[in-house]
Structure 1
Amino acid sequence: MKYISIVLLGTLILGCGGAKVDQSTVLNPTNPKGVKGSVLPASKNAQLESVKLKVSTKALSVDIEATMTFLTSDELQGRDTGSDGIAKAADYIQNIFKNNNVLPYFASYRDTLESYSDGVAYNVVGFLPGTDSELKNEFVIIGAHYDHIGLISGDSNDKIANGANDNASGTTTVLEFAKYFGKYKNNKRSIIFALFTAEEKGLVGSKHLAKKLKAENIDLYTMLNFEMVGVPMVGKDHSLYLTGFELSNLAELSNGYANKNLVGFLPKAKEFNLFRRSDNAPFHDEFNVPSQTYSSFDFTNFGEYHKVGDEASLMDYEFMATIVNESVPMLEGIINALVKEVKYN
């Protein structure tokens, strides 16, 4: 997440800036008693009848760990924007897109930032056309930043800030969504999968892409961003929180489609205005449509933010696999709704 510093209880804390498919598992589209979020009406239940596949958590966690291991390897030198290491990450990401039927949105997968002066920088942008003759003209962006801060002052043994939680975890999560929708092609609206560069430099990559898409006058429905989702929250009855929670009905809809209390409110996220600290913000600014970030970094559960200790070995891959599984029906519900349900309050 884009760099911020806060004082919390007298301590300086930094807040962040084919898998196997079990086809016998059918997700219950009704909202169970006690789940926070809307109970879906019959019309919404009908929309969820297509959600009949759930990826094996065990198989998925293996795939996630493999992606995380590469993105956080010392070979990539902390994925600093403009570096050779982040170029290797971009190659890896675009190969996943290509191998999973996700097209480049532009002429190539790489969306180059012309104004970036410290090396060559680019977002990696994939595209999956919608299947509905009318809804395909509306877009949902699913995004995360894939850069990190590179080499820093660590100790004599380690100077590489590998950036596992921040934000290889969000990048890997988005790549799993790309694999899923690339395989099943059950998205009525068109999806842009955007992996942003230079988030750590001030949201530079997402600002660039938001302006570029705005100039194309695309009909953007919503932007859903994933940031620091590598470890579970502590003592919460929900798995993720949503930045700008009170600004829209996205959390309520997310829980309804997920069929559980997946997304909640984190007071610290509002207190420190995390809504403005990640790549959702430029899309909010350019399009004025619901653009928000899902995260599990709760200011108590991960002490290695922007340190050399942000390593893949600290990530909870079963948790990450569960997040992917539970988010798929949420994303399908939002992407395939017959009308634009997600709205700012």
Structure 2
Amino acid sequence: MEKGSVLFFLFLGLVIQAQEKPIIQQQEIVRIETELASDKMQGRAIFTMGIDSASAFIENEFKKINLSYFKDLKNYRQEFVVKRKPANNIIGILLGKSRPEEFVIFSAHYDHLGVVKSGEDKVYNGANDDASGTTAIIALAKYFKELNQNERTIIFVAFTGEEVGGFGSKFFSENIDSNKVVAMFNIEMIGTESKWGKNSAYITGFEKSDFGETLQKNLKGSNFNFNPDPYPSEQLFYRSDNARLAALGVPAHTISTSKMDSEPNYHQLSDEVSTLDLDNMTEIVKSIAISSQTIINGQDTPTRIK
């Protein structure tokens, strides 16, 4: 074979490899987000038919991706009791290739506020809070499954009960060995632009570990920026599902874009898909995937939280 032909086939192989690399598609972000925040989910309040519908949808997405079950579970539901009523998280895993006993968690809460009895608009759709985060973990699960390069085990978990006291993350944290959890990417309200505009987000508790610095390093040279939480007085680090594992020393942080000093749709009936920037949200999910790579492949291990 002539040298030119060899070079051509090498080039062709590189092109095919590049084409085969998975991508996070905006149309998938739109599809998942639109379903989770639809009126038929009835606001996803805990203990309702609406949240049962949301759970079934997320479970089906995990099944399509072909995630494995968590620990000794027989399906994707981690069931428990809250105030004598049944509730469940949804969990799927990708087993690590060389470090299966080291865990990286991607999480979000799928519950919201439910409905009101009167008015033209009765549904708290929770498109940003937190259908956006739940959409992200489903998209990331699909991406990392197709990429098939995770040395550490990745756990994808959708928590219930965040809006009424963090019951889902509490139960989860009590039923996992926190010493095995290397990092937790909790994703909360990423559907709107941050205070810095597009292609940016912030990390709560930035100063409590070098988790944020690792993510910044992995995004160096891109047009995306992760910043420290600009709303320290809001105590956001302690107000989402990362807090339970952070209290056990895990570098567990929340990634968000929500302008907590001026977010007009926060906990309002107006928190609907039409208010989101789904193009920017897609770029945020892509950047989370890129920023996590060295943690997932075992190259970086964030410092523990004291």
Shorter-chain TM-score range = 0.7 to 0.9
Partner of 2:79: 112
The answer to whether the 8 Å contact 2:249/2:304 transfers is: no
Amino acid at match of 1:318: D
CA drift at 1:330? 1.2
Structure with bigger helix share is 2
Are 1:246 and 2:207 matched, yes or no?
Answer: yes
Are 1:150 and 2:87 matched, yes or no?
Answer: no
Partner of 1:265: 228
CA drift at 1:156? 1.8
CA drift at 1:344? 3.8
Match of 1:193 among 156, 164, 168: 156
The answer to whether the 8 Å contact 1:25/1:54 transfers is: no
Partner of 2:41: 76
Amino acid at match of 1:278: S
Partner of 1:316: 277
Partner of 2:96: 130
The answer to whether the 8 Å contact 1:241/1:265 transfers is: yes
The answer to whether the 8 Å contact 1:266/1:298 transfers is: no
Amino acid at match of 2:236: L
The answer to whether the 8 Å contact 1:240/1:264 transfers is: yes
CA drift at 1:296? 0.2
The answer to whether the 8 Å contact 2:95/2:153 transfers is: yes
In structure 2, relative to structure 1, the CA distance for the partners of 1:339 and 1:311 (3 Å cut) is closer
Normalising by structure 2, report the TM-score: 0.87
Match of 2:239 among 277, 280, 285: 277
Structure 2 CA distance for aligned equivalents of residues 195 and 160 of structure 1: 21
Are 1:180 and 2:143 matched, yes or no?
Answer: yes
Structure 2 CA distance for aligned equivalents of residues 311 and 167 of structure 1: 11
The answer to whether the 8 Å contact 1:138/1:221 transfers is: yes
Amino acid at match of 1:161: Y
Q: How many residues in Structure 1 have an aligned counterpart in Structure 2?
A: 288
Structure 1 residues 6-85: aligned runs within 5 Å: 53=21, 55=23, 60-85=25-50
Partner of 2:87: 121
In structure 2, relative to structure 1, the CA distance for the partners of 1:54 and 1:108 (3 Å cut) is closer
Which shifted more, 218-227 or 310-319?
Answer: 218-227
Amino acid at match of 1:338: Q
CA drift at 1:113? 1.7
The answer to whether the 8 Å contact 1:123/1:195 transfers is: yes
Structure 2 CA distance for aligned equivalents of residues 267 and 26 of structure 1: 40
The answer to whether the 8 Å contact 1:141/1:194 transfers is: yes
Q: Which runs of 4+ in 1 moved over 6 A?
A: none
Structure 1 residues 198-217: aligned runs within 5 Å: 198-214=161-177
The answer to whether the 8 Å contact 2:199/2:283 transfers is: no
How big is the alpha-carbon RMSD for the aligned residues of Structure 1 and Structure 2? 2.3
CA drift at 1:114? 2.3
Structure 1 stretches of 5 or more lacking a match?
A: 1-22, 28-51
CA drift at 1:237? 8.3
CA drift at 1:333? 1.6
Structure 2 stretches of 5 or more lacking a match?
A: 1-13
Per-residue CA deviations over 1:182-236 (Å, capped at 9, x if unaligned) read 222211000110100000011110001000113xx66111111000000111335
Amino acid at match of 1:128: L
Partner of 2:53: 88
